[in-house]
Structure 1
Amino acid sequence: MNRNLFIILLIVFNIAIDQISKVWVRANFEYGETKSLIGEKFIMQYVENKGAFLGMGSDMNDTLKLILLLILPTLVLGYVIYYIIKNKQLDRMSLIAFCCIVGGGIANVFDRIVFGQVTDFFFINLGGVFKTGIFNVADLSVTTGMIMLLISGFVHRNKGKVLHETE
């Protein structure tokens, strides 16, 4: 498959899955309603987030929100798209990771533009230290992409060390 087509399809897939899940939640939940998926461990609760990650920045003034939650993310996402299209040396895992990050980022920016806030609905509580805030599929895409980038970085760093040691 053409590389640029692959990039576009993966980004669009991430946006579509996120937007479909948010439309479904808004149609099937009352605001604040909670439904258990798996006991008290995996829960869905419909909330609207006016800020960024975990509601951070929701109390900022409107100008600051515009700059930090719309303009800056849009510029960064634009640069990342440019970077992944131009950089033909990216390994497949990094390319997929960047596409997940961009797709999730665009999906949340879209929500902020259209609705003025982001729909969140997943909550995980495995007890002890592992308890999340309420998040959405776009957040999951961005987080998955970041984890994939870290793994890819470690793999390629270690490959570089092995190559230098064998020379």
Structure 2
Amino acid sequence: MPNVAGRFGRLGWLWLSVLVLVIDQASKYYFESSLTMYQQIVVIPDYFSWTLAYNTGAAFSFLADSSGWQRWLFALIAVVVSGVLVVWLKRLGRDETWLAVALALVLGGALGNLYDRIALGHVIDFILVHWQNRWYFPAFNFADSAITVGAVMLALDMFKSKKTGEAVHD
């Protein structure tokens, strides 16, 4: 991707957010139309399966048992965070590609889950990581993965900034 700066900052990286959104929604559509609720298709025995689960809460089903108000709270938070991320992207300089990619990943993931929350009232999850039948990580989706990778990149950028006094650059 060529450097995009000036008036639009690094908004050229929004293509990555759109790509994350498209892959997220396509994968959710596929698994929702292919699996029944909580059905598991083992990919790697004892470690990895496809499944179908709905999450009305936030990460790790936080507030999932609430009466429904959490849908709009989490949607509002996602809208505000998305707006902040777009403004942040716009203000980045040419040499801040690492940070632009991180923000674009988080934005794409946030928009993917936001769409589910508003359109469906829940987020579709389909990735299940586990160890035998003893331990299960909560089901998640492609958007969650993009958010996590982007957040780790942001954290690495902050740690690098503290250590050297400047941000991670190209």
* Contact 1:42/1:123, CA 8 A, preserved across alignment: yes
Report the more deviating stretch, 34-43 or 53-62: 53-62
Q: Give the Cα separation in 2 of the matches to 1:124 and 1:72.
A: 27
Which of 46, 56, 67 is the aligned partner of 1:50? 56
Q: Indicate the residue corresponding to 2:140 in structure 1.
A: 135
The TM-score with structure 1 as length reference comes to: 0.85
Q: Indicate the residue corresponding to 1:106 in structure 2.
A: 111
Classify the secondary structure of the residue corresponding to 1:51: coil
How many percent identity over aligned positions? Answer: 25
Answer 1 or 2: which has greater helix percent: 1
Q: Which amino acid aligns with 1:133?
A: P
Which of 85, 104, 128 is the aligned partner of 2:90? 85
Is it true that 1:97 corresponds to 2:68 in the alignment? no
The TM-score with structure 2 as length reference comes to: 0.84
Moved over 6 A (4+): none
Distance 1:153 1:90, change over 3 A: farther
* Contact 1:57/1:65, CA 8 A, preserved across alignment: no
* Contact 2:71/2:121, CA 8 A, preserved across alignment: no
Q: Indicate the residue corresponding to 2:12 in structure 1.
A: 6
Q: Give the Cα separation in 2 of the matches to 1:34 and 1:79.
A: 37
Deviation at 1:51, TM superposition (A): 0.9
Distance 1:65 1:76, change over 3 A: same
For residues 10-35 of structure 1, what are the alpha-carbon distances to aligned partners after superposition, in whole Å with 9 as ceiling and x for unaligned?
Answer: 11011111111101101211121101
Q: Give the Cα separation in 2 of the matches to 1:65 and 1:126.
A: 31
Q: Indicate the residue corresponding to 1:164 in structure 2.
A: none
For residues 31-71 of structure 1, what are the alpha-carbon distances to aligned partners after superposition, in whole Å with 9 as ceiling and x for unaligned?
Answer: 211011111201111111111111111122333431x2111
Q: Give the Cα separation in 1 of the matches to 2:141 and 2:105.
A: 13
Q: Give the Cα separation in 2 of the matches to 1:28 and 1:139.
A: 20
Matched positions, count: 159
Instruction: List alignment gaps of at least 5 residues for structure 1.
Output: 162-167
* Contact 1:34/1:43, CA 8 A, preserved across alignment: yes
Deviation at 1:126, TM superposition (A): 4.5
Which of 120, 124, 137 is the aligned partner of 2:125? 120
